[in-house]
Every structure is written in structure tokens, then in C-alpha cells.
Chain A
Amino acid sequence: MPRPAGRQPAEELRLALPSKGMEDETLRFLAACGLSVDRSNPRQYRATLRNPPGVAVLFQRAADIFDKVDEGSVDLGITGYDIVAEHQREDDDVAVLYRELGYGRCALVLAVPDGWLDVATIADLAEVATSLWNKGGELRVATKYANLAREFLYRHGINHFSIVSSQGALEAAPTMGYGDVVADLMTSGVTLRENRLKTIAGGTILSSEACLIGNRRQLAASETKLRATLAILELIEAYLRGRDYLSLTANVRGESEEVVARRITAHEAIAGLRGPTIARVYPKAGGERDWFSVTVVVHRDALLAAVEHLRKAGAAEVSVVDVHYVFEHRSSAFAALRRQLGVRVRGGQTPGPEELLVGRSPVGEF
């Protein structure tokens, strides 16, 4: 893809997205955040973000994205947290910028053959490992996640085992005889069941979902990249926060705004994030004059309670819409990013949301 003339290639923020498995989910997620990917041809491995400007998108294998970010050949990447947890080193350049993006959920679990009727818990597995060891054998754990599996087993008092590193079909390991148990990703459990394997209590090594990572050095070294990253983080954060909220609008009868406000704020459930917005309703010709429109944003879980309270406060009808974003006064992602980078954002000021949200009008309260 041709680059706009006059732009330094190094100043372009490079974002790696998973090309297989999580691709569709990732594109849907980004679009929902307001970060649509422009790709002229779905078979191409390069694309751009429509907004913020100056972001190149590269599609790569989820398993490779950690390494690409670590070596700095891309600045940001979305990949599974399982991959990050397995590959991270204490001296790497990778910062986890957003741990839970809310999709791509799976768990790294230990699974044993269905036929091991006596093994239902991690304690059972520990005993089996010890008894295999006493007979001169060793529990063989087939996995792509050698570091996480080893650490987990040690932590659960299982010292005698060997890791069989395999990149192939792990579920077949016990049947094929090259591993006794497996440590593998599970989303629904169907694959495990089909291969006559079962999970055990206390055998979840890691719960994972998609996460956003970035290269500390690259981001710290470029103001432009940092600003683009902050814009992306803001939108993701506000979108994820917004998913928990609903916006309620009700027509409430009352003598004045103050009287209505008092009735509304008496109930914690409908007080909103900061407080209700109340506006006079100008009735159709001949209509009554004492109606007010009340808008509050409430947590999804509190919806029915809020509707009930609005009714008690005199609401005639209540309409509910999804909140797309919730931006708070300060982005906690900003602070987290700065902590991660260990640097001040140059210029001493973090860019305000108005600078970042070019051409979008977010829905909801601020």
C-alpha cells in the first residue's frame, strides 16, 4: 500500500492483528470501538485504520504477534493473553496495554483421559505423578505452553513430570501414546470430549482473552505513535465501559425541574453516573405544560430497578438505548500506559479527549 508522500515510515503506528482464528472477532470488536479497518482486499495482509489517522494494520498469526511486538517490528498488537503469558520475559519490551478486551475467551486447562476414573482433581493428578515416579516413570504433559504448565505443576506440588512440547494436535497425545495428559486451550470443551479427555477440578492454568500489547521502546520514542496509541486506548476503554451501561429517557410529570430532580435523585439506582439531565418538554398545541424529559445512564444490571424507580417518580414512558461509549474525566488507560512505559508523555500534557476524538460524537454522559 503506498504511503502518503512526505511521511516518515517510522512515525506510522503499526498495529498487528491476528489473521486466523480471531480475525473476524477482532475486526468486529474494533469496528464497535470506532476503529474500523480499511482493507481494499480481504486477502491483503496490510490495511489502515480509518481513524485515528496514521495507523497501519498488519495481519499476522496470533502466535507471532508477541514476537513481532517484542522485536519492535510492529508497535501494537492484539493477541491472546495466553500467548503473552507464555512468551513474556521479565526483560522484554512488551507492555500489556489492555488485559481484557472482552472477546476471544478461552482457558488453558489440564486434561486427562476419560478412562482415568480415579482422577477428578489436581490432587489426584499429583498422586498419580508421584506413583508413576515411584515406579520409575514420569507423568508426560503434552503442551504448547511449556512455561505456564511447568510453573503451574510446580506450584501444585507436582515435581515429577516431563513436558512434551508439541505444536501438533495435542488432544491426540494420550491416545497416540506420546503424552499422558495435555495442557491445552479450551473454548467449549467439545474438542476435549471428542478426544475422550476430561478437565479436572483445580486444573485451570490460565483464563485468557484477547488483549492489546505494545512495544515500550517504540511507543516511548515517538510522540506521534504515543498519541495514536492513546486515541486507540481511549476508544477501547470507553467502549468497554459503555457496554455495561444503558441510557434511560423518561417523561416525568412535575411542577418544576427542581421538584422532578429531587424525586429522581432520591433513588440511588437512577441517580446516573453524575446526576440526571432534566429538560422541559414543550407539549403539542393544547397539551399540558408540566412534563419534563429525564435522561440517566445506569449500569445494565440496575435496569429494572431504575425503571421501577422512574415509574414511582412519575414517569409515563421510559425508553432505553445502549450507551456506546463512556469516557471518564481521565482515561485510566492513559495512566496505565504511562506506568507501563515508565515515561512522561512528552510535552507534559496528555492530550485531552477532544483532541483525540476527531469527527465522532460519542453517546452518553461524560
Chain B
Amino acid sequence: MLHTPELSRVRGTVDFLPPDAALLRSLEQAMHAVLALYAYAPIATPVLETTDLFLRKSGEEIATRMYSFMHWNRRLCLRPEFTASVIRAYLQHLQDRPLPLRLAYSGPTFRYEKPQRGRYRQFTEVGGELIGAAGPAADAEVLAVACGALESVGVRDYRLTVGHLGVALELLGQLGIDERGQALIVGQLEPLARKQADPDAVVERIALLLGAAAAEGDDEAPDGALGELLARVGPETAERLATELLAHASLPLEGSVRSPAEIVQRLLAKAARPDPTPQVRTAIEFLQQLHGLAGPPAAALARLDALLRAYRLDPAPLEEIEAALSLFAAYGARPGEVVVDLSLARGLRYYTGLVFEIYDDGPDGRLQLCGGGRYDDLVRALGGRDAVPACGFSIGLERAKLALDRHGAVPPPARPVQVLVVPVEAADRAAAVAAAQALRAHGLRVELDLRGRGPRVALRHAAREDVPLAVLVGEQERAAGSAVLRRLEAGEQATVSLDELPAAALRALADGAGDGRHA
């Protein structure tokens, strides 16, 4: 049976048409200009990367949302973010450059998420990474560049939320929760803070994933008794028993990547390990307290200081936030509101220090425009020779546009065409091209009439498309080396020599035949 399927966009993607696409490009250029002012040099990395790059340190949240696929037996993906790619490029090519290194980027990123307003599956990130600089001075610079880039396109009254992963990570370390557990817990901070997740359910789920005994009534649990028995007889006997069991109970392990010794060892280690549930619960409760103490910097820092003392945690992260924010103030950025919230986790697993997010609060809810922070372990995790401190940010370009839309702050689009050049007859085409080129050489946006249906039709088209000027070239003008310059709105026209045409056109535009923008 024959049927022609409709060709349509892939769900969750957008076609940006004129003039929106031009606007997005101009926003992107403005942000790049700000990055350039702070000496961030552009870098371009491929959209296509190995999936593994992002699985190493980006966290589960990203893993399930990646466009990942096998291509001739290699696992590839469309980049879900830039930081890991930029660090990979740094490791491959730039490790010998003097530090710090400032890099700027922009381009499409891809995440398989539920599409909704302001959330597309392909979106554009504009951002920068500052590699090889530690401490509040670097953090403050990154904050300032991010705010500066947003302000440069007209974003106002945004809310800047600052947090620090140091506190959460130290507490989790103290509780003896391993790296995997830390990642699982940190990954839940965001849903917990947004009240999208029930704390008890989160504790239970994470504890289960960390090896807590399954709840009663779980008919899936097949054993667990063996470990308990072995734990009772003491390590030496246990090891002998387990090894014997594997050797004689015809439990074949040929072909297995795991040796009997390894299995026995893990079995014993597991039996000796306590139930992680109380630790997980303590951690989640503490992190919820952190969220409860969020607020304006001075007040929040004071309250948090008391809490950290009570838990005997290092107050250094608070000092870092304070130092970074006071330096940040010197840059003169103008956020509408600054909030300190230590439960901010950013969903990406690689952050280690100060983290921040920038929001636009509108009548229809908050819109995240930007996120960033410090990731001192990432270079090492991706195979760097040395540990290199680094931080960065990235802005969602389409989000920034949406924020401007919400506040009616979108700049009027530039006129795509300033001058329409019309050859009267086919024989006048070469002369018309010469006139058009002369105008373009002076930076004017020129459309050459290709319809060949005569000046009247061409002029009607120009009026309809709001083109302010027309240049007509006929037999007479061709012979005289001149052209007719017509101001459409005024209906006035004059014959000018080709040499003077660009200057005359510029004058006419400046006179109000159109200032280059739609009214």
C-alpha cells in the first residue's frame, strides 16, 4: 500500500523563521561581543561526540536525556552541553598553553526532554569557560561575564541565585556516602527544592540503589541470607566457605569477567556494610534545611554560618561566596535580586564549588536563562595530567529571547532590504548589477529585481515589502552612466550619476526614508 508520509519537524525542535532567526543571531553576536571584551577566545567543538564523554561525569540526569546512538558499532551522541566537550578539546590540544585560558562558545545542544514552552530538544547555548583559575576572583569574573552577556541583549531585573557544592559534598563525605551515592543525592536536590519529589520516597529510592534491604513484601528479593550467614562466622571462615561454595556447588563462572575471589570479596564487604538508609536520610534532611535558609546574601550567610557550626562543617564555602559576591559587585552588573541558596545543585554532577543560576521571573513563572559554576575535578576525571581548577557558564539563547518577548523588550528587527535595484529591460541587467554592487560596497542591503516584469510591478513589490529606496536603471540611464533614485514613501525621485549613487542613497536613508529598522 502506497502512502506518502508528511514531512514534518522532529518533535521538540523549532524552525526559526525570518525575522526571529535574525534576532537570535544578533543576540548571539551581542553575547559573543561581551565575551570578547573579557578576552574569551572563541572555540568550536563538534556537535557529535562519543557518548562516553558525557557519561563520565555529567550525571544520570543527562544520561537518560541524551540523543545517543550506535553508528557502525561506535556509541555516539549529539552533545547535551558544552563544558565536557570544551574540556576534552582542552585536554587534546591546549594543555601546554599558559593558564588561565578563557574560551567562548555557542552552538546547538540536544536533550531529549518533554517539550514545553521555552524548552526545546535542540537549543542553543552561548557560554564561556575559564580554565586554570581558582578562587573567588575567577568565580566573580564568570558571574560578571554571564550577567554582562544577558544585560547586553536587554535582559533586566533578573534574579541571580548563588550556591556552593562544597557544603553538601563535605557533609556527604562525613557521612561516609561514596561517590555514586553523592551523585544520586546531589541529583535529587533540585526536585526536592522545587517540591517535585517527596523526601521520604527519595530517601527510600536512593537507599535502595545504594544497597539497602528491600522493603518487606518485595517478592522479588531472592536472597540476602547468604551474606548474613557469612558475616556471622568471621572473615576467614566466611571466605573459605564462599570459595568452596563457588568451586563445588557447580556454579559455573566460565566466560565471566568476574573471578571467584572478586565475588567472595565483595560478598563479605557487602555483609559487613551497614544499611545506608540513616545516612541518606540525614543527608536529605540536612540539604532540605539548606534550602529553607536561602535568602538575600547577608541574612542567608549568617543563618547558614550558624547551621554549619552546629554540624561542625567547614565554613570556607560561605567565605568563598561572600568574597565572590563582593568582587562581583565591583563589576557593576545589575541583577534585580541576588539569593544565596546552598541547595542549588545544577543537575550536572561535575560541579565542586560555587554554582549559580540566573532566572527571569515573569507573570507566567520563572524561566532559567543561565547556569554555571566551578568544576575543579572535571579535567582530572576526563583524563587530564594535572588537576586544573575551572569554572564557566552557559546561557540558553532561546530562553533569553523568550525573556525579552515576555517583557516586550525585543528590539525591532532590522529591515532586511534597504534598496531595490530594478533593471527596466533585460538589456539593463548588467548596468543594474553594477549599481547594486556599488551600493553593497557601501554596506547597504540590496535586493536586485529578478522578476523582469518592469518598474511598475517592481515598485509595487517594494512598497508592499516596506523597502524605503528603489534604484531604476533604463536605457537612458545606462547610456548616461546614471540611475534614478526613488524614495518610495515620499514618491520623489532624482537622477544621480553612478559615482554619487551610494552617497545619495545613504543620505536618503538618513533623511528618514528609513533608519534601517521597521517602524
Contacts and interface: CB of A to CB of B under 8 A. Distances in A.
Nearest to A73: B1
Given A113-B256, A122-B208, A159-B63, 10 more contacts: A90-B11, A113-B253, A117-B246, A120-B224, A121-B208, A157-B184, A174-B256, A200-B220, A201-B220, A201-B221
Question: What 10 A-B pairs have minimum CB-CB distances, sorted nearest first?
Answer: A177-B255, A118-B267, A115-B251, A123-B211, A201-B221, A118-B266, A115-B253, A154-B64, A201-B220, A159-B55
Interface string B240-283: 00100110000111111110100110110010000000000000
Nearest to B183: A157
B70 to A, nearest CB: 8
Interface in A90-115: 90-91, 113-115
B251 A196 contact: yes
B63 A127 contact: no
Contact of A175 (B63, B75, B214, B254): B254
A126 interface: yes
Contact of B209 (A122, A174, A203): A122
Contacts, number: 113
B236 interface: no
11 contacts: A90-B11, A91-B11, A116-B258, A118-B266, A121-B221, A132-B257, A151-B64, A154-B60, A157-B180, A175-B254, A177-B255
B212 interface: yes
Interface in A166-184: 174-177, 180
Contact of A117 (B75, B210, B220, B245): B245
A124 interface: yes
Interface string A196-239: 10111111100000000000000000000000000000000000
Given A116-B263, A137-B257, A175-B254, A123 B212 contact: yes
Contacts of A43: none
B443 interface: no
B63 A72 contact: no
Contacts of A199: 220, 222
Interface string A244-264: 000000000000000000000
Nearest to A90: B11
- Which of A123, A140, A155, A200: most chain B Cβ within 10 A? A123
A160 interface: yes
A80 to B, nearest CB: 21
B255 A123 contact: no
B3 interface: yes
A128 interface: yes
Interface of A: 72-73, 90-91, 113-118, 120-124, 126-128, 130-132, 137, 140, 151, 154-157, 159-160, 162, 174-177, 180, 196, 198-204
A123 B252 CA distance: 23
Nearest to B251: A115
Interface of B: 1, 3, 10-11, 55, 60, 63-64, 75, 180, 183-184, 208-212, 214, 218, 220-224, 226-227, 242, 245-246, 251-258, 260, 263-264, 266-267, 270
A206 B191 CA distance: 25
B68 to A, nearest CB: 8
A124 B220 CA distance: 14
Given A201-B222, A202-B208, A128 B253 contact: no
Contacts of B212: 123
A207 to B, nearest CB: 11
Nearest to A198: B222
Contacts of A200: 220, 222
- Which of A91, A201, A202: most chain B Cβ within 10 A? A201
A115 B263 contact: yes
Contacts of A120: 221-224, 227
A203 B255 CA distance: 22
Contact of A201 (B214, B254, B258, B267): B214
B209 A126 contact: yes
A196 B220 contact: no
A131 B259 CA distance: 13
A126 B270 CA distance: 13
A159 B184 CA distance: 12
A130 B266 CA distance: 13
B256 A180 contact: yes
Given A201-B218, A201-B221, A114 B251 contact: yes
A131 B214 CA distance: 22
Contacts of B184: 157
A204 B263 contact: no
A123 B208 contact: yes
